Amino acid sequence: MNGKWLETSFAWLMLDGHRGEYDPRFLSKLNINRIVEQCVTSGAKVVTIMGKDISGYAWYNTKIGLKYPGLGDLDYVGEMTKRLHEKNIKVMILFLTLADKRLWIRHPDWRQVDAEGKTRQDYFVEQQKKWPGTARWMKFHMVCPNSPARQEIIKQVKEVTANYNIDGIWFDMYDFTTYC
Protein backbone atom coordinates (compact mmCIF):
# COMPACT_ATOMS: atom_id res chain seq x y z
CA MET A 1 0.00 0.00 0.00
CA ASN A 2 1.68 3.22 -1.13
CA GLY A 3 -0.79 5.74 0.26
CA LYS A 4 -1.23 7.51 -3.10
CA TRP A 5 -4.88 6.49 -3.29
CA LEU A 6 -5.64 8.54 -0.18
CA GLU A 7 -3.74 11.58 -1.47
CA THR A 8 -5.69 11.56 -4.71
CA SER A 9 -9.10 10.81 -3.20
CA PHE A 10 -11.56 13.64 -3.10
CA ALA A 11 -14.48 11.85 -1.49
CA TRP A 12 -14.09 9.99 1.78
CA LEU A 13 -17.07 8.62 3.66
CA MET A 14 -16.94 7.36 7.24
CA LEU A 15 -19.61 4.94 8.47
CA ASP A 16 -19.19 5.19 12.23
CA GLY A 17 -21.67 3.29 14.35
CA HIS A 18 -21.02 2.26 17.93
CA ARG A 19 -23.93 0.24 19.26
CA GLY A 20 -22.68 -1.15 22.55
CA GLU A 21 -24.82 -3.67 24.34
CA TYR A 22 -27.96 -1.57 24.15
CA ASP A 23 -29.98 -3.90 21.99
CA PRO A 24 -28.63 -6.82 19.93
CA ARG A 25 -31.40 -6.20 17.37
CA PHE A 26 -29.35 -3.22 16.19
CA LEU A 27 -27.76 -4.26 12.93
CA SER A 28 -29.76 -7.49 12.71
CA LYS A 29 -31.56 -6.16 9.62
CA LEU A 30 -28.60 -4.39 8.07
CA ASN A 31 -28.95 -4.07 4.30
CA ILE A 32 -25.42 -4.21 2.86
CA ASN A 33 -26.66 -3.72 -0.71
CA ARG A 34 -28.42 -0.50 0.24
CA ILE A 35 -25.41 0.83 2.14
CA VAL A 36 -23.06 0.10 -0.77
CA GLU A 37 -25.53 1.70 -3.19
CA GLN A 38 -25.56 4.85 -1.05
CA CYS A 39 -21.75 4.88 -0.91
CA VAL A 40 -21.60 4.67 -4.70
CA THR A 41 -24.25 7.38 -5.09
CA SER A 42 -22.29 9.64 -2.75
CA GLY A 43 -19.30 9.48 -5.07
CA ALA A 44 -17.04 8.15 -2.33
CA LYS A 45 -13.63 6.92 -3.38
CA VAL A 46 -12.75 5.72 0.13
CA VAL A 47 -15.16 4.39 2.76
CA THR A 48 -14.23 3.77 6.37
CA ILE A 49 -16.37 1.05 7.96
CA MET A 50 -16.57 -0.25 11.52
CA GLY A 51 -14.02 -2.92 12.41
CA LYS A 52 -14.01 -2.84 16.21
CA ASP A 53 -16.30 -0.57 18.19
CA ILE A 54 -16.03 1.26 21.49
CA SER A 55 -17.42 -1.68 23.43
CA GLY A 56 -14.74 -3.97 22.05
CA TYR A 57 -17.03 -5.80 19.65
CA ALA A 58 -15.63 -6.94 16.30
CA TRP A 59 -17.77 -6.30 13.23
CA TYR A 60 -16.11 -9.21 11.47
CA ASN A 61 -15.78 -12.94 12.04
CA THR A 62 -13.20 -13.34 14.78
CA LYS A 63 -11.55 -16.13 16.74
CA ILE A 64 -9.77 -13.70 19.07
CA GLY A 65 -12.35 -11.08 20.01
CA LEU A 66 -16.09 -11.05 20.45
CA LYS A 67 -18.32 -10.38 17.44
CA TYR A 68 -21.18 -7.92 17.81
CA PRO A 69 -24.20 -10.14 18.60
CA GLY A 70 -26.64 -8.22 16.40
CA LEU A 71 -24.66 -9.13 13.28
CA GLY A 72 -25.50 -12.82 13.61
CA ASP A 73 -23.95 -14.70 10.68
CA LEU A 74 -23.25 -11.51 8.73
CA ASP A 75 -19.54 -10.81 8.24
CA TYR A 76 -19.92 -7.04 7.95
CA VAL A 77 -16.26 -6.27 7.19
CA GLY A 78 -16.02 -9.12 4.69
CA GLU A 79 -19.22 -8.25 2.83
CA MET A 80 -18.66 -4.50 2.82
CA THR A 81 -15.05 -4.89 1.67
CA LYS A 82 -15.99 -7.29 -1.13
CA ARG A 83 -18.87 -5.19 -2.42
CA LEU A 84 -17.14 -1.83 -2.13
CA HIS A 85 -14.07 -3.17 -3.92
CA GLU A 86 -16.34 -4.43 -6.70
CA LYS A 87 -17.35 -0.77 -7.13
CA ASN A 88 -13.68 0.36 -7.12
CA ILE A 89 -14.03 1.98 -3.71
CA LYS A 90 -11.16 1.67 -1.22
CA VAL A 91 -12.00 0.35 2.24
CA MET A 92 -10.54 1.38 5.57
CA ILE A 93 -11.76 0.00 8.87
CA LEU A 94 -12.32 2.03 12.02
CA PHE A 95 -10.59 0.13 14.79
CA LEU A 96 -10.91 1.38 18.34
CA THR A 97 -7.84 0.46 20.30
CA LEU A 98 -7.73 1.37 23.99
CA ALA A 99 -11.45 2.13 24.28
CA ASP A 100 -12.58 -1.44 24.84
CA LYS A 101 -15.32 -2.04 27.38
CA ARG A 102 -15.07 -5.81 26.98
CA LEU A 103 -11.39 -5.89 28.00
CA TRP A 104 -11.97 -3.24 30.67
CA ILE A 105 -14.62 -5.40 32.37
CA ARG A 106 -12.80 -8.73 31.99
CA HIS A 107 -9.41 -7.42 33.15
CA PRO A 108 -9.69 -4.76 35.88
CA ASP A 109 -5.90 -4.77 36.21
CA TRP A 110 -5.62 -3.60 32.57
CA ARG A 111 -7.58 -0.37 33.19
CA GLN A 112 -6.06 3.05 32.79
CA VAL A 113 -5.72 4.78 36.14
CA ASP A 114 -4.23 8.08 37.20
CA ALA A 115 -1.61 8.58 39.94
CA GLU A 116 -4.34 8.26 42.57
CA GLY A 117 -5.75 5.04 41.11
CA LYS A 118 -8.84 6.67 39.61
CA THR A 119 -10.20 5.55 36.25
CA ARG A 120 -11.81 7.88 33.72
CA GLN A 121 -15.16 6.62 34.95
CA ASP A 122 -14.36 7.71 38.53
CA TYR A 123 -13.38 11.13 37.25
CA PHE A 124 -16.46 11.29 35.02
CA VAL A 125 -18.78 10.67 38.00
CA GLU A 126 -17.06 13.49 39.95
CA GLN A 127 -17.36 15.89 37.01
CA GLN A 128 -21.04 15.05 36.48
CA LYS A 129 -21.76 15.97 40.11
CA LYS A 130 -20.07 19.36 39.61
CA TRP A 131 -21.20 20.09 36.04
CA PRO A 132 -24.01 17.80 34.84
CA GLY A 133 -23.90 16.96 31.15
CA THR A 134 -20.22 17.79 30.64
CA ALA A 135 -17.18 15.66 29.82
CA ARG A 136 -19.17 12.80 28.28
CA TRP A 137 -16.04 11.50 26.53
CA MET A 138 -14.60 10.57 29.94
CA LYS A 139 -16.99 7.69 30.42
CA PHE A 140 -15.17 5.57 27.84
CA HIS A 141 -13.71 2.37 29.23
CA MET A 142 -10.01 2.72 28.51
CA VAL A 143 -7.44 -0.04 28.93
CA CYS A 144 -3.78 0.76 29.43
CA PRO A 145 -1.30 0.35 26.55
CA ASN A 146 1.31 -0.75 29.11
CA SER A 147 -0.80 -3.76 30.10
CA PRO A 148 -1.36 -7.08 28.30
CA ALA A 149 -4.19 -5.26 26.48
CA ARG A 150 -1.57 -4.08 23.98
CA GLN A 151 -0.81 -7.67 22.95
CA GLU A 152 -4.53 -8.45 22.70
CA ILE A 153 -5.04 -5.47 20.40
CA ILE A 154 -2.04 -6.47 18.27
CA LYS A 155 -3.49 -9.99 17.88
CA GLN A 156 -6.83 -8.51 16.79
CA VAL A 157 -5.17 -6.24 14.23
CA LYS A 158 -3.12 -9.13 12.86
CA GLU A 159 -6.26 -11.25 12.57
CA VAL A 160 -8.29 -8.65 10.68
CA THR A 161 -5.44 -7.72 8.33
CA ALA A 162 -4.69 -11.39 7.60
CA ASN A 163 -8.31 -12.25 6.86
CA TYR A 164 -9.56 -9.20 4.97
CA ASN A 165 -8.33 -7.29 1.94
CA ILE A 166 -8.70 -3.87 3.55
CA ASP A 167 -6.85 -0.84 2.23
CA GLY A 168 -6.12 0.79 5.58
CA ILE A 169 -6.99 1.07 9.26
CA TRP A 170 -8.10 4.15 11.17
CA PHE A 171 -6.81 3.53 14.70
CA ASP A 172 -8.97 5.55 17.06
CA MET A 173 -9.16 6.18 20.80
CA TYR A 174 -5.51 5.71 21.56
CA ASP A 175 -5.69 7.98 24.59
CA PHE A 176 -3.66 7.58 27.74
CA THR A 177 -5.07 9.11 30.94
CA THR A 178 -5.54 12.55 29.42
CA TYR A 179 -8.41 13.33 31.76
CA CYS A 180 -6.54 14.57 34.82
pLDDT at 62: 96
Note the pLDDT tens digit of each residue in 131-175.
Answer: 776 655 556 788 888 899 999 999 999 999 999 999 999 998 776
**pLDDT at residue 180 greater than cutoff 50:** no
The residue-averaged pLDDT of 70-94 equals 95
Higher pLDDT, 82 or 136: 82
pLDDT at 178: 52
**Which of 21-30, 78-87, 111-120 has the highest average model confidence (pLDDT)?**
78-87
pLDDT at 112: 86
Mean residue pLDDT of the chain comes to 83
What residue type is 49 in one-letter code?
I
The residue-averaged pLDDT of 22-49 equals 87
**pLDDT at residue 94 greater than cutoff 90:** yes
pLDDT at 12: 75
Q: What are phi and psi of 35, to 5 degrees?
A: -65, -45
**pLDDT at residue 6 greater than cutoff 60:** no
Higher pLDDT, 25 or 159: 159
The packing angle between helices 32-42 and 76-86, to 10°, is: 40
pLDDT at 27: 75
Residue 3's pLDDT band, with cuts at 50, 70 and 90, is low
